[in-house]
Structures are given as structure tokens and as C-alpha cells.
Structure 1
Amino acid sequence: MTGLTGAGLGVGVVGGGFMAQMHSRSARLAGARLVGLSSSTPERAAEAAQRLGFERGYGSLEELLADESIDVVHVCTPNALHAEQAAAVIASGRDVVCEKPLATTVADATALTEQAATASVTGTVPFVYRFHPLVREARERVARGETGRLLTVTASYLQDWLLTSEDDNWRVDADLGGASRAFADIGSHLVDLVEFVTGDRISRIATRTRTFVTDRAEHARVTNEDAAAAVVETASGAVGTLLVSQVAPGRKNRLHLEIAGSTESLAFDQEHPETLWLGRREGSVLLPRDEGQNSEAANRYSVAPSGHPQGYPEAFASFVADSYAAGRGASIDGLPTFEDGLRAAVVTDAVLRAAASDGWVDL
């Protein structure tokens, strides 16, 4: 994150929940002006606007888009609303930051990607784990050939916030969250990280999905998955496993990636983002986030001196700052765009099709 890249920008946010909080905080750190927020009702919009520091609340997206002082809009609403709302922002000629999943279907994600390109607006999706400095360090090491030929990938994203029948959320409703839940919401992050770090795309996938808790406090007959497990092959010929779960006791937000190359392995754990494990036949080490030991690509996103921990909030702020810079014409390496959101939708669709067919699906 470099400089106040959002200085002078007027920001609007659609939605008033946790993700709206993260987006608005990051926009403020980038120097942007928090102009307006819309939510499901005028009352909720007014409350959220006051709580998050916006100048005003709007009763609808249409009212928000009528405010000419807003330059960029963040879409932070339930998944099923993303496609329609992001399309409206694009049609207004504004840049858009849309929460993931970009859309709940491949067709909608494709349409949004094409609409953004045609309108020449910047559309980004917050795959924010790309912005941990040591994720960039891992990517650089792979790109420089230090890991050698990619052999295997072991990756997981585990949470426990939907463990019991008393745990509930709008995401378990397929009409709001989509046909896929665990994989669309957090598996998309996992696949993005795997492909971003390795530079290698998943080419085939076989999966199992499970809904362990079908009846929750406010939702009965839940159909979207609590967990998904996959075996994958990559374009280069590597093999791997992916495990995604929102019912893993004790795991709050544990995104873990380990890749094994012919000369070196590396592992990153989002719950401990200040070190990168480098596995060697002899002399495995923990590499810290440290300007003197890290690459320029990693150091660009180090906003605190070594020994002063940084994590998810800083990664999120770096993503938003880079999104604003791209909207102003800067070329940003590794910025997740609508094309990456479309890729996530394609992989999620393949996960569901593979589970339904009990076989391999080619991507």
C-alpha cells in the first residue's frame, strides 16, 4: 500500500454488515471520502452510515448512484444481489469493487466481466490474501524458479462459525448465498491463492461436498455445502488436494497453502502471516517478514517495520488502495479483477458438477 491513492475519491458502499466495515475502513486509510451508503431499508442505511462514518445514508442503490460526488462503489451485499447491483454501478460509468463471489452463476460472472471491459471501468474482487507480503514473497520465489518444478499442492481453508444447528446466517439460504456456500465463499479464496502463488491453473477436479447441518435456527432444509474436498490436477501436471470447511472446531480463519517443488517446498498460514516456511531436504527455515530478507514485491506491502505484526486489515487496505490506483490509470501487478472473479465462478461450478457426477470435470 503506497500513499493516499484514494485522495479526493468519493466512495459509496452498498450494504452495512461486516464486509462494509472492512471496505469503508480501507477506503478511509486510502484517503477517500466516505460519501454515502445504501442498505436494505432507509433506516438501516442511516444507522450503518452513522456507525461507519459516511456522510449520509440512501434508501436505495438508485439514490446512491444519483449522487454525482460518488466516484467508486463497493458492493457488499448478499451474494445473489451482486450481479444486478454491480451491473448497475458499471452502467453508471463508475468503478466497482464487488465482494466475492462476483456472482452466483458463471453466466452472470461472465456478463459482468464483459460489461466492465466494454464500459472501460475498473472492476475488482477482494481476494485480499494476495496482499500479505509473504504471499508475494512466495509467488516471487516460485516465479524465480527457487522451488523448481511444481509437484504437489496441499491447501485448506477451515472455519468453525457454522458448526452447530444454532449457528445461522443468510449465506445458508441458497436463494441469497447461492448453490455453493463454503466453496463459493472461502474456497474461492483458496483456489485464487493456489493459482496466484504457483502461476499454474487447476485443469481437472474431482470433488465431494457435504451438508452436515441441514436444519439451523432460522433455516430448514439447507442445501448448500458445509464442507468440500477436492483432488486436483494442474496444467503443468502437478497433483493436489483442497479442503474447505465451515464446521471445523477451533479453526477461525485458517487458510493454509503448502506447495512442494522439486527443489524446495513453501507453506503459508493466514493465521500466522508473518512467517513463510521454506522446506528443504536439509536446512528448512522460517522466513520472517523482514525488509532485508524479502523481495521488493513483498516489501511493497509491508506497512509496518519487521517485528511489528500486520495481517488481514493491512492486506485488505492494500487491496483497496491498489484498486483505486488502477482506477486512476496505474498498472498494478497482481490486482484481482473481475476476470479473477469469473475464474472463481468457473472453478466453483466445476466443484458442484464434479460432486454431482461423481467423476472428474475438466476446466
Structure 2
Amino acid sequence: MENKNKSQSVILFLYFWLCIGFPLGLWVLLAGPSKWLAEYSHSTNMEMSKENILGKLIIIVYIIASFFLALLFNRLIKGSKNKSVKRFVLGILSFIMLASVYIFSFNPQWLISYSGENLTTNIKNQEDKYDHLEFDYGSYPNEEMIKSLKEQGYDGIISLLNEMVIPAEPALMKDESELTKKYGIKLINMPMMPWISKNEKTLQVAKKFIENEKGLYYVHCYLGRDRVNIFKSVAKKYGAKNNTKVTSNIRKIEELPTWTRGKYFKLEEGVYLTPYPTDDEFIMFILNDFKTVISTLDNNVKENKPWIVNEKKLFTNYSMNYIHYPLSPTFNQKDLAALKKLINSNEKPILIHGFLTNDDISKFIISHY
């Protein structure tokens, strides 16, 4: 009986933490302290390292605050003998949590407006006919924007939303389909899965489209970030023009003090030594921040071969300059000079990686570069 009561108490606490943590986190990251910090750092030219520290402090304070708020509500409910009060508090918290989930899932325009995303588009006269293919990029368009795209003479909208991303994207796709029919603008679906898929099938469809079509198209995912960056890189590789007036959402490498597999190091301006990037890091930080990637993985090491094959395959779809330049365990000053020569002969920013950055070769490069 005692164990059952403990389990119920833990479950109730976790439920309170979810009800408080989700809406509070949504506010902190999109409309509150994180947004205020970004605006302040931009207006004062704050150093990235200082902004990173303050950003981490905000997240830490948020986690601690949500934990103690959940603990407080849990104790108040357990200590109260009034069942009506208990039901009222549980009802209010549940409503706030569900409302936050609804906003996150089905009202992207709220998130877009409060997270500072700009829906900037090109202007095209109705009588203009593009003799090439050009893309504008951004976040999910509302009805007003879809109408505006039609009025400006856009030839169509390319949606990267995927019906597998539930519950949000199937509903958004349905709304967009109805609105594009209403305003008579072409809608092309090229579904991508964010983060967990290489989207190879869609990339081949995009390649064929880019090679054969002309006109001006608006490309979007949910918030106009990761999947848009993937499409943008593919478009660049196959010769489509990107509208330079659109504000991109490039996530700079300095936004993370460490990567999943360890620390990164800035060797000089525009040259970074990092661990082997995860798929998330590739999409968020590498895809549009770097011109050249140099892999130093030794293909004579059996464990490295799958990583090398995977990376070579990955880079075939994108416009980046990928160089496999294996380094042996006997790496010395002469080899470092050759590596520098390679670096100086390629376009920056350049990312160099092995697998980790705490191995002997990486330590030698860091200390002798």
C-alpha cells in the first residue's frame, strides 16, 4: 500500500511538472527570456560566448523554476482536504498545458510572430515570366500570406511538411491544401522528416524538379529552419537561385559550447576542428554555415569505414565541398603543414573532423596549429 501511494505521488508530481514545464518552456524559449536575450545581444553586439553563457543560465533557471513550481503544487494538492480545490487546480493546469500543446501543434503563426521569424518574400509582377527557377524560403504561410503570394505572381508553394509529424503537420497540410485551392495557387508537397531521416527520396524529387522547372516558388517547412536549410542546399547544388532578400535562419556553430561527441576548437578565423557530427548537427550547423568539410578519418581503421561511407553518401546530395583527407597515427609537423596547405587552398568556412577531438592527432593539431 505504501509503495502504491509513493508511485501515485511520483506520477502526480511528474504530471504537474509536465503541465507547468511545457507552457513555461514554450514562453521562455519563444516569447520570454530567450527572445529578450537574443534581441538585447543583437542590439548591443554582445560576444557570442557571453550570450551562450546567459542562454544556458536561462535554461537552467527555467528547469529549476518549473521543478520547484511542480513540487509546490504537488504539496498543496496533497495537503489540501478540499476536493473541489484539488479538481480546480488540476483542471486549470491541465487546460493551460493542453492550450500550449494546441498552440504548438496547430497555430504556428503565433510561434512565428513571437520567435522573431520573418515572412519576407520576393516581389514579382503578374506579367513577369521567369526564364529560370528561383526560390524564396520561410515558415508555414497563413491565409493572408498565401493570398499575397498569389497576388505577387508566385508560381507555387513547395511544402516540406510531413503527415507523419503528428499531431501538428497533418492538420496544417489539410488547411494549406484548402487555402491554395481557394486562391488558385499551385501546391507541391515534398515531405521531409525533420532530424531522423536523410530524406533521400524527397531529395531526388527535388533534384528532378530543380532541373526541369522554371518560375518563382515559396518553400517552407514549419518554422522555416532545418528542413528549409536542407532544401536550400540542394537547390544551390543543382543551380536554382535563392532569393538573397530572405532572412535565413542559419544556426552558428558557436551556439553550442560542445557537440554531442565532445568539444570543438576554433583553429583560426573560419576554420574549426570538431568531432564527427551527428545528423542533427549536420543539418543545424554545417549545412549552410560551411563551404568545405574535411574528414580526417583513417580508412585503414576498420571502425572508421562505416562512418566514412555514411558521410560520403550524405554529401552527394548537398552543395558543399567534401574532402576525405585521412590522417595516420604518425601525424607530425610536416603532415600539419600539408593539412594547412589544403585548408588554404579551399573556400572557408572550413570544418575539419576526425571522430573525437580528444585523440592524439586532434591534440597535436590544436597545440601546434
Fold match by TM threshold 0.5: no
Return the structure number with greater relative CO, CA threshold 8 A, min gap 6: 1
Answer with 1 or 2: which has the greater Rg. Answer: 2
**Greater share of helix residues, 1 or 2?**
2
Flag the structure with higher strand content: 1
TM-score normalised according to structure 2 size = 0.28
